[in-house]
Structures are given as C-alpha cells and as structure tokens.
Amino acid sequence: MKKLINSPDTVLDDTLAGLAAAHPELAVDRAARVVRRAGGPRPGKVALISGGGSGHEPLHTGFVGTGMLDAACPGEVFTSPVPDQVLAALAATDGGAGAVLVVKNYTGDVLNFALAAELAAEQGVEVHTVLVDDDVAVEDSTYTAGRRGTGATLVVEKTAGALAERGATAAEVAAVGARANAASRSFAIALTAATVPAAGRPGFDLPEDQIEVGVGIHGEPGRRREPLRPARELAAEVVGTILADHTLIPGDQVIALLGGLGATPLHELYLVYGEVAALLAERGLTVARRLVGNYVTSLDMAGFSLTLTKADPELLELWDAPVATPALHWS
Amino acid sequence: MKKLINSPDTVLDDTLAGLAAAHPELAVDRAARVVRRAGGPRPGKVALISGGGSGHEPLHTGFVGTGMLDAACPGEVFTSPVPDQVLAALAATDGGAGAVLVVKNYTGDVLNFALAAELAAEQGVEVHTVLVDDDVAVEDSTYTAGRRGTGATLVVEKTAGALAERGATAAEVAAVGARANAASRSFAIALTAATVPAAGRPGFDLPEDQIEVGVGIHGEPGRRREPLRPARELAAEVVGTILADHTLIPGDQVIALLGGLGATPLHELYLVYGEVAALLAERGLTVARRLVGNYVTSLDMAGFSLTLTKADPELLELWDAPVATPALHWS
Amino acid sequence: MPYAMDHDLAEAWLRAAAAAVEQREEELTALDGAIGDGDHGSNLRRGFTAVTELLDGLEPGLPPGTLLTRAGSTLISKVGGAAGPLYGSALRAAGSALPEPTADLTDLAAGLRAGLSQVCKLGGAQVGDKTMVDAFEPAVAALERAAFDGFTLREASALAAEAAEAGARSTVPLVARKGRASYLGPRSAGHQDPGATSTALLFAALARVAG
Amino acid sequence: MPYAMDHDLAEAWLRAAAAAVEQREEELTALDGAIGDGDHGSNLRRGFTAVTELLDGLEPGLPPGTLLTRAGSTLISKVGGAAGPLYGSALRAAGSALPEPTADLTDLAAGLRAGLSQVCKLGGAQVGDKTMVDAFEPAVAALERAAFDGFTLREASALAAEAAEAGARSTVPLVARKGRASYLGPRSAGHQDPGATSTALLFAALARVAG
Ligand SMILES: Nc1ncnc2c1ncn2[C@@H]1O[C@H](COP(=O)(O)OP(=O)(O)O)[C@@H](O)[C@H]1O
Ligand SMILES: Nc1ncnc2c1ncn2[C@@H]1O[C@H](COP(=O)(O)OP(=O)(O)O)[C@@H](O)[C@H]1O
Ligand SMILES: [Mg+2]
Ligand SMILES: [Mg+2]
Ligand SMILES: [Mg+2]
Ligand SMILES: [Mg+2]
C-alpha cells in the first residue's frame, strides 16, 4: 500500500486537520468529527446535513458552505458515521427550523442516521431524511438492500441546499431532495481497485487488461469483470445502461455529472465526457448542465461514474443558484 | 497501460472534444489546438497566453477565463505546443495591446514559444515572455537547462491574469508574472510513475515501498529514490528543501499550493497539507492563501508537490481578484 | 465453571470477545474485502477496544444486563457502518432483557433472542440472506433448545458456538440479499460473510469463558 | 550511386529517415522514457509522417535545399518539444545554405554545419552535454574531413554515419547538462541520449540512400 498517510489509524483525524488548515471558512470539530460552516446556527434556516464514510472526498465535507450543506459528518474510511456525530451536527446547526439529513442508501448509513434521527426527534427536532439510491448497477427490490447512493448525492445536496438557503421548510427541502434523487441514475466502471488504509491491500485484484463494470464507491468489486475497451465503448456501455433504466425521452434535458473515482486524471475524464456528450446528443437529449471532475470518489480507485439527472425548470434553477463551498463554487 | 482513451494517437484531440463539451464557456478550436475564452479579442486588453504539453490538466486549459488566461495552447502529451498554435492563439486574442506568454522553462517550450514570439514580433505584435522556473529539485546554473517550471505557473497565471484584466500594459503584466515566479519555489515527490499513452508503459519502475524524490511533471525520474515514509516526514522533507532555497523569514506571508500529481486522492492531499501547514507555522510563516487539489498534474502519477510563493500586498490583491475559469473560481 | 450469566461472566465474555476480534481483525477485514468494503475487522476492533476501556472504568458489581447495555451503546458510538448499530442494538436489547443480578441459561437465551430480533428489525434480514443473522439465529436457537433440554450453561454455550460456526460456514454458497455483499449479486457466492464470521467468533468467546 | 545531393537524393534521404524513425519509434521512446519524458519516438514519428505527406504533395524537381527547408518547417509545425524546433531549424538552415540545383559534398557538409550551428545557437548545448549535438557534431566533422580528403559522397556519408553512431554511444556515460535528462543529475549517466540516437539514425539513413 502506497499512500500519503501517517498511519492507517489516524487517517480521518489527520485528514480533518488538513481540511481545517486548507479551509479556514469551515469550522472543523476534530473531536466530534463534524465539519460545518463557520458561524453558529442560523435562526429559521433548515439545517441540511449529510455524511458518510470518508474516502469519497470532496463528498461531503467539500460541499459544506453557502447554498449547500450546513454540516457534514465524516465517518472512518468507508464506514458510516456514528449517531453521536449526527447528533453533534444537529446540535451545532439547529436554527429551530428542523433538519434534513441526506443519507446514501447503505445499511450502515441508514441505520446510524436513523438512530440519530430518532433521538433528535425525541428531543423535539423536526428531522426529515432524503435517501439517495441512484446506482443502476444494483438490483432494486424489497428483498434486497436496494440501490446504492453515489453521484446523485451531489445533485441532491446542491438542489436541496439551494432551497434551504432560501428559507424553505424542512418538508419542502426534503421533497426537492427526494425529487432530485428520483430523477437521477448512475453507473460506474473501475480500472483499478481501491485500497482501504486499514486493510493495507486493494479490495480486489484486477489484471492489467481487465476492468470492473458496475462498481460502487466503496471499493467492492462490480457486477462483472471485462476486458478494457476504448473509452468510446465504455461510455456507450455506461450511457446505455443508465438510459435503459431511466425515463428519458428525446428532447429531455439532463444534468450530467462525469466523475472520477479518485485516481483518474482530469484529461481522461474530459475524454470520456466527450464521448458521453456525443452519445447523449445522438439520443436526442440535451445536456443542460454538466460537471466533469472528482466529486464522489472512492479513495485511489481509477475509473469514472456517470450520473444523469432528468432536469426540469425548478431543478435547473436550484442547480444554478449560487454556491460557495470548497468543491463547488459559482455565483 | 490502463487508461480511459480511444487510442494513444487521438488523446489530445479527444480530450479537446470533451473539454469543449464540458465547458461551453470556452471556445475550443480543435484544428488549431487553441482554447480561448468565448467571444473575440478584447480591444485594449493584453492577451495572456500560455500552453505546454498536455497531461497536466487543468493546467493550462482549465485556467482560461476571466481574470486568468485569454488562451491556452495544448501540445501533445508532455510535448510543448508548436509555434503555429501559439501564433493562432495570438491572432485569436490580439486586442491591440500586445501579448504576454507564460512559458514553463523546458527547452521545448522555450524554443517553440520563442519561434512564435519572433514571428509575431515581426508582424508588429508586442510580445513579452514570462519564464516560469520554480522547481528547486533542479540545479540552476548557466551551464544547465535551468530549473523546471511547475506549480508556480498557476500563481503566475493568476496574478498576471488579474493585472491584465485591469487593463495594465504588456510590460506591466509581464513584470508581475516575473515577480510572482521569482517569489515562488516548488518541490515534488512521486509515489508512482506516469504512463505516457504513446509509450504505453510507466516512465520508470518504482517498487511498492519506494518513492521518487524531486520529480518534475513530465514523468521523468526524480533526483533520488527513497523508501516510502509517513506523510509527516515527507512533508518535512519538502518544506525543508523549499525553505533552504527560499528567502523567507519568520513573519513572512506565503501563498501555499499543495498539488496532487494526478492520481492522488483529495483526502491524502488534505492530510499532507495539514502537515505542511503545521511545519510552516513552526517556522513562523503565515499562510495567507492556500490551494489544495489537482492543478498542475502529471498524467496518472501519484504524489504531491508543494509551491510556496512569498506574498506581498500586491500579489495577494491580485490573487484575491475575481477569477472565473473551469479550475479556479472565486469572486 | 459459571452456572449463570453474572457480572463476572458478562465482563469475561466481553473481554474475550475483544481479544478475539483483535486477534482476528485481519481475517475479518479480508473477508469483508472480498465481498464488502474491507473494514469489518477494523470497525469491530475499534468498537471492542472502546468496550475494553469502558469495562476498565466501570464501578464493580454491576448486573450483567447493564454491562451488555453499556457495551452496546459503546459499539453504537464507536463502530459506525452496518455492524455498529446492529451489534450495538443487539447487545442493548439483550442487556435490557436480562434479569438482575444474574441470568440463568433460559434468561440468557431469551435476552439474546431479543437482541437477534432487534437485528432483524433494524436490518430486515432473514436466515439465508448471507448476514450475521445466519450465525446468530442458529446460535440462539441452540441456546433455547439446550435450556429446554436442561443443559448447563457451559454445554449450551458450546452448542451455540458450534451452531454459530456452522451458520457462518453456511453463508459461503449463498448469494447475499442484504448488506454490501448484495451489490455483487451472484459474485457474492463462494465467500463467507464477514458479519456471520464475527458472530461465530462472539459465540466462541462465550463458550470459552463459560467453559 | 549519387555523386551530389540533388532532388532525388534529398527526397530519398527524407523518406529513408521517415522509415527509420517509424521503425525505431519504440526504441527512441524507451530511451526518452529512461531519462526524459518518453515521447521522443512518437514526436519524431508524427513529424516525419507529416514530412512524408509533404513530399507526396510537392511538385517535382525542386532543388534539394528547398526540400530540406520545407521538411524543416514541417517538423517545426508538427513535432513540438525540444526536438521539433531543433531538427526543424537545423533542416531549414541547412536547406537555405545548399546551392541550386545540386549540392556537392563540400556544399552538403557546409549546409549541415549551418544546421548544427543553429541547433547550438537555439539550444546552447556543446559536445559533452549529452544531447543530439554529441552525434551531430562528429558527423558533420566527418563529412567536412571527407570532403577535404576528396572522398565520395557515398564514402563520406558512411563515415558520417559511423561518427554519429559513435557519438551517440559516447553519450551513455555522460551526465546531461541540457534538455530534460539534465533534471536527473548524476542519474542521467548510464543511458544513451535519445536525441543523439535519432541523429545517428538520420545520418545512417543518409548513408543508406547515398550508398
Ligand atoms: N441488513 C443487514 N442485516 C443484518 N446484518 C447485516 C445487514 N447488512 C450488513 N450486515 C452484516 O454486517 C456485515 C458488514 O459489517 P461492516 O463491514 O462492519 O459494515 P459495512 O458493510 O457498513 O462496511 C456483513 O457481513 C453482514 O453480516
Ligand atoms: N538544449 C538542447 N540542445 C540540443 N539538443 C537538445 C537540447 N535539449 C534537448 N535536446 C535533445 O532533444 C532530445 C529530446 O527530444 P524530445 O524528447 O523530442 O523533446 P522533449 O525533451 O521536449 O520531450 C534529447 O534527447 C536531446 O538530444
Ligand atoms: Mg464500511
Ligand atoms: Mg516532451
Ligand atoms: Mg464493511
Ligand atoms: Mg521527450
């Protein structure tokens, strides 16, 4: 394992120290493991809070700031945060208007956020939860754990964050988040495995000419293994898989997020995005907004994921609203 | 070689296609290989132009926009652009106030930009050149090629770009760029080698427990090979090497750029930055501004580089000036 | 040889569990690496290290149920992931169900049944879904049967440990329907579930200290 | 067997150079990978492919100097990096110096001397700096000596090719002072310079077509 760390046991704490130094505009509570906007709770504003295992940076800590999250709860690497963190985040951001939790659909995240939400509700805080489950690589049924939450998390946090910034109620913010999630589908391909620092070796062995298709963001193997192919074919595979599951018709507008998984250089992401854009145009879809870069990552995994969100005027307007966070910034 | 490409021969063109799709606010001329701000030349404004081999994204194409570059000339991977590209960029951005070329100090870049500058000067364009040579890993003497240009390029393009945006003369813009460069020193450590697509294999073989110290951004080996050490020690090595070459004294302010080399995940960069920030504080230096992320990269190389620029009120003011480019955005 | 679950046995169990987790951290992590995200071992180690610290600081003589409840809260606060709330809630439920000051075999079986119910309620898994339930359920069933048949705590614990171990092994051919392994679909078959493995390890620890 | 550099020989030389570059692209890239950035082979291949296309489209019968000048401009426009402007300017300078319609051995030696001077002027390198100059200089010197001694173009080209090859090999132990290899300091020793190697290849191509 080759990583810029001090020790596997201190990765989270050391990363938070660096985050605090890099972003004085954030309040980083290393003991409570809560990252929030500097300045206290804002009376009357719904607190938008998310979190999850670390190793997906800039998700979620990089999305804390005006127009997006009020606080993020980073867990250990690939491990959901504990309820205490969520409760601390709720306490630190409670402006009296309730809170919305953005939770990626993993058993651990769901359970830990649910425990916290239960306790907070007992204390009289109005808590809503938006579950993100956009990954079409995973079969969705009541008998399974359901789909994973991946790239759509960014879209949910951006749109819900914009609405929260305008003073909407917790129910309204949660409703928009749920709508953004329902409008989103993602699919990812990995060229290499991720190495969890505590594990010390890659999650799976992938020969030099093989890729994993349908991976998540936790280093787990995908649905199947295939030979590496040209970017154009991989893009077609990903676009085809998403569209087969999506209710998009020619003429529809989409928000496209072409994301690196952590170790893929930007030039490759641009290259893949060029293929994706061409394929979407062929299908008669209009890319109304797009992001290309590393946003929802998986440690040092190489590869990419595509998220397509069916856009409507409200979602686009919320997407365009000003945002000022470490990882997303526009005005 | 595992890359998201179609073919080694089309990497540059395919990447430009994707860049154009990803950033409608840029005008991407794939034939001339020039990336510039949409909209024609701006009368009276000095054109700030840079370029260099591809594979360092977001440098330089990601720095085209308000407050930074007017145009970028991307060469083939790790290969400086040809004079024709620079001439095309000059023609497309000439607002009558002359141009400033930001050139990283590599023989190829220097020669190709010089040939273009010569031809443009013959056509009556006032052309100034800022040479960037900040890498302290390289010995500087009149008998050598001199120091490489690396991370300081961002600082030069940001500060010179801000001044150009205000309507300064070409000479003034060039002078600030030269000053920003002179105030900057960089040093980098690689955990893995980069693979040039056309070469098909890594530039060097690095055992699982070894690192290259003092690397550049073109995949070449560094000054020496060492065992991997904890991030804290690597940070100390880098900070120590830079400060030994820098004229910084306690109380001085710096702009710090902690950059990934392409394949290093953000959480590791934050972690290293935390160590760097602590070391600089110990030395009595104040980090006035900082950037942590992938800015001046080297394809899929894992590792990091640190750039420290001695700050003064003018440089800080230019740094803080609004910028709206794909990779840097603040207001 | 203890005849009931009292303070000492509860403490011994938790400490033995902590030692076993520490010793087998890598194995658990490797199993989780194959079909999950490679953190089950380090998650449990972090949690049980905190449980050990908790025990070190507790006033003496607390009833066994309190020990289990506090340990469960500690796991919830320290582990995260799926295993944290599941094991934590299970211990909390079991602890609350145990009578004071000691619990006999029937009480213990009932307490752990309450803990298992909590796991199934929170996680929605059933036997055959390739989760910790596949080891937990047969272990509890073995305790219940042993209690009904008049076995000693020692004998019962040994039977439960065997049943848990067999349950963990039974997960190998299964296709996961819950937890991260379910994302792999058919590729999850052929690997033993990490959570079922750690459950077997916890029952083995009980059998050791009750032996 | 040609006695002077005329249109046909110049074209044959450039085509032979293009073929040689194509054939040895990987070797040049590998050498550049060891002490540079691993693109020398692909850079030259791109450039000489364009030179071949240029030749395919040129009107017949142009003087040899014009062919070299145009080829030089093409290299400058297509190659980039250090080698593009250096080789391109060298060919342009050489081409401008050649008399029309043909150049004898003395003219050719003088033309290539002008090309070499341009390389040294642009790049600032001297013999011993571990660059293409280490092959270029002895090759030109061999041509000059052969011209002075009254050798044929064929004999002179063979001598120049040998000198260039020896010059390229002489770069192996050197520590680079120019170009990217200089960044490696002492670690650049032990590797043959890619540019010197491609220069040797260009003179070998001349010897072949003049032979
Ligand atoms: N819904 C569930 N019900 C019961 N047990 C589950 C469930 N989901 C996961 N588990 C158990 O948790 C184990 C994984 O724990 P751990 O690796 O610590 O958490 P995570 O999956 O969040 O990384 C699995 O091996 C499985 O036994
Ligand atoms: N200053 C110089 N003078 C002469 N030749 C040089 C100089 N710098 C580099 N070279 C030659 O160029 C070769 C490298 O060419 P190439 O790899 O195409 O360009 P780059 O170094 O820009 O990638 C070196 O091997 C060396 O022979
Ligand atoms: Mg986990
Ligand atoms: Mg090059
Ligand atoms: Mg796990
Ligand atoms: Mg090269």
Residue pLDDT, tens place only, C27-47 = 999 999 999 999 999 999 999
Q: What is the pLDDT of residue A265?
A: 97
- Where helices occur in chain D by DSSP H, the ranges are 7-23, 25-35, 40-57, 64-78, 83-97, 105-123, 133-148, 153-170, 194-210
For residue D105, report the distance from its CA to the centre of ligand 2, in Å: 28
- Would you place residue B203 in the very low, low, confident or very high pLDDT band (cuts 50, 70, 90)? confident
> Whole-angstrom Cα distance, residue B25 to residue A165?
27
Q: What is the pLDDT of residue C2?
A: 77
Output Rg (C-alpha) for chain C, integer angstroms: 16
> Whole-angstrom Cα distance, residue B284 to residue B252?
8
A contacts of C28 (beta carbons < 8 Å) = none
D173 within 8 A of D186, measured Cβ to Cβ: no
Candidate list B60, B128, B218, B246, residue with the active-site label: B218
How many domains does one find in chain C? 1
Most A CBs within 10 Å: which of B1, B2, B3, B4, as the mutation test of the A interface?
B4
Mean pLDDT (whole number) for C23-28: 96
CATH number of the domain that D28 lies in? 1.25.40.340
Judged by a CB distance cut-off of 8 A, whether residue A144 touches chain C is: yes
Q: For residue B78, give the chain D residue with the closest CA.
A: D37
- Find where tokens 């692909």 sit: D42
**C70: which 2 tokens?**
């506090």
Query: Chain D closest CA to B9's CA: distance in Å?
Result: 9
Task: Give tens-digit pLDDT for A51-104.
Answer: 999 999 999 999 999 999 999 999 999 999 999 999 999 999 999 999 999 999
Most A CBs within 10 Å: which of C22, C27, C29, C37, as the mutation test of the A interface?
C37
**Domain covering A184-320: architecture:** 2-Layer Sandwich (3.30)
Judged by a CB distance cut-off of 8 A, whether residue A176 touches chain B is: no
Mean pLDDT (whole number) for B307-328: 98
Judged by a CB distance cut-off of 8 A, whether residue B58 touches chain A is: yes
Query: Chain A closest CA to C80's CA: distance in Å?
Result: 5
Q: How many CB atoms lie within 10 A of CB D50?
A: 17
Q: What is the pLDDT of residue B259?
A: 98
Inter-chain residue contact A139 with C185, CB threshold 8 Å: yes
Q: Ligand 2 in contact with D193 (CB < 6 A)?
A: yes
Q: Ligand 2 in contact with D39 (CB < 6 A)?
A: yes
Inter-chain residue contact A219 with C185, CB threshold 8 Å: no
**CB nearest to B6's CB, from A2, A14, A230:** A230
Task: Give tens-digit pLDDT for A224-278.
Answer: 999 999 999 999 999 999 999 998 999 999 999 999 999 999 999 999 999 999 9
C154 within 8 A of C211, measured Cβ to Cβ: yes
Which of these, B34, B41, B13, lies nearest to B89 by C-alpha position? B34
A contacts of C185 (beta carbons < 8 Å) = 139, 223
Chains D and C make contact, 3+ CB pairs within 8 Å: no
Domain ranges of chain B: 12-183, 184-320
Query: Chain B closest CA to A96's CA: distance in Å?
Result: 31
Inter-chain residue contact C180 with A223, CB threshold 8 Å: no
Task: Give tens-digit pLDDT for A164-188.
Answer: 999 999 999 999 999 999 999 999 9
Q: Count contacts between A and C (CB, < 8 Å).
A: 121
**CB nearest to C185's CB, from A80, A203, A223:** A223
Inter-chain residue contact B112 with D85, CB threshold 8 Å: yes
Asked if pLDDT for residue C193 goes beyond 80, the answer is yes
Q: Ligand 2 in contact with D167 (CB < 6 A)?
A: no
Mean pLDDT (whole number) for C152-161: 97
Q: What is the pLDDT of residue B250?
A: 97
**D23: which 2 tokens?**
């054939």
Mean pLDDT (whole number) for B255-265: 98
Mean pLDDT (whole number) for C175-181: 94
- pTM attached to this predicted model: 0.95
For residue D193, report the distance from its CA to the centre of ligand 2, in Å: 9
C48 within 8 A of C20, measured Cβ to Cβ: no
- Would you place residue B142 in the very low, low, confident or very high pLDDT band (cuts 50, 70, 90)? confident
Judged by a CB distance cut-off of 8 A, whether residue C77 touches chain A is: yes
Q: Ligand 2 in contact with D43 (CB < 6 A)?
A: yes
Mutate to test the pocket of ligand 1, among C24, C26, C86 (most ligand atoms within 8 A of CB): C86
Task: Give tens-digit pLDDT for B17-44.
Answer: 999 999 999 999 999 999 999 988 999 9
Tell whether the torsion through CA atoms of B263, B266, B267 and B271 is positive or negative.
positive
Q: What is the pLDDT of residue D109?
A: 98
Q: What is the pLDDT of residue B107?
A: 95
Q: Count contacts between B and D (CB, < 8 Å).
A: 123
Q: Is B246 a catalytic residue?
A: no
Would you call A32 helix, strand, or coil by DSSP?
A: coil
Distance of CA A16 to the CA centre of its chain: 18
Judged by a CB distance cut-off of 8 A, whether residue B176 touches chain A is: no
Inter-chain residue contact C187 with A221, CB threshold 8 Å: yes
Segments in chain D below pLDDT 70: 1
Which of these, A268, A233, A237, A272, lies nearest to A256 by C-alpha position? A272
| Domain containing residue D84 | 4-210
Ligand 1 atom closest to Cα of C178? 1
Interface confidence: ipTM more than 0.90: yes
**Cβ density class B303-331: b for 16+ within 10 Å, e for less:** bbbbbbbbbeeebbebbebebbbbbbbee
Q: What is the pLDDT of residue B323?
A: 98
- Percent of chain C with pLDDT strictly greater than 90: 96
Q: What is the pLDDT of residue A139?
A: 79
Mean pLDDT (whole number) for C154-179: 97
Asked if pLDDT for residue B141 goes beyond 80, the answer is no
B319 within 8 A of B158, measured Cβ to Cβ: yes
Task: Give tens-digit pLDDT for C131-150.
Answer: 999 999 999 999 999 999 99
D43 within 8 A of B76, measured Cβ to Cβ: yes
> Whole-angstrom Cα distance, residue C207 to residue D203?
83
* A270 residue type, one letter: Y
Judged by a CB distance cut-off of 8 A, whether residue A224 touches chain C is: yes
Judged by a CB distance cut-off of 8 A, whether residue C84 touches chain A is: yes
Q: What is the pLDDT of residue A276?
A: 98
Inter-chain residue contact B196 with D38, CB threshold 8 Å: yes
Task: Tabulate helix, strand, coil % of chain B (nearest 5).
Answer: 35, 25, 40
Interface of D with B in 178-207 (CB under 8 A): 178-185, 187
Q: What is the pLDDT of residue A47?
A: 98
For residue B100, report the distance from its CA to the centre of ligand 1, in Å: 59
Q: What is the pLDDT of residue D1?
A: 67
Mean pLDDT (whole number) for B100-112: 97
- Percent of chain B with pLDDT strictly greater than 70: 100
Asked if pLDDT for residue B221 goes beyond 90, the answer is no
Q: Ligand 2 in contact with D86 (CB < 6 A)?
A: yes
- Where helices occur in A151-285 by DSSP H, the ranges are 152-165, 170-182, 231-245, 266-282
Mutate to test the pocket of ligand 2, among D177, D178, D192, D197 (most ligand atoms within 8 A of CB): D178
- Find where tokens 């813009």 sit: B173
Mean pLDDT (whole number) for B179-188: 98
Mutate to test the pocket of ligand 1, among C25, C117, C132, C188 (most ligand atoms within 8 A of CB): C132
CATH of A12-183, one of 3.40.50.1360, 3.40.50.10440, 3.30.70.1730, 3.40.50.1370: 3.40.50.10440
